[in-house]
Amino acid sequence: EVERRELKTIWHAQVDQELIPLHIVPFLPVNPSFSATRNQGRQKLARYELKNFNRFIYDILHEVSRRYYDFIQ
């Protein structure tokens, strides 16, 4: 998801803004090589605003750090 957002930002910066209506793809298309559960997760993550997505990533990293370091101490 992070990679997709970065590529989208780069693409939007390079293409003439008049050619990019913001409503082209209102949802993340299904990837047929992924399971239904994984596609649903990807679609939910794609709906997060940037601020909320960053907070979500921070929360995940914090939780992994807490679990890992609590486990090895």
**What are 37-65's pLDDT values in tens digits?**
998 888 888 888 889 989 999 999 999 99
Residue whose pair of structure tokens reads 């990837």 in the numeric block: 31
- Closest-CA residue to 4 (of 56, 33, 43, 52): 43
pTM of the model: 0.54
Amino acid at 39: N
Taking the C-alpha atoms of residue 42 and residue 70, their distance in angstroms, rounded to an integer, is 30
3-state secondary structure of 25: coil
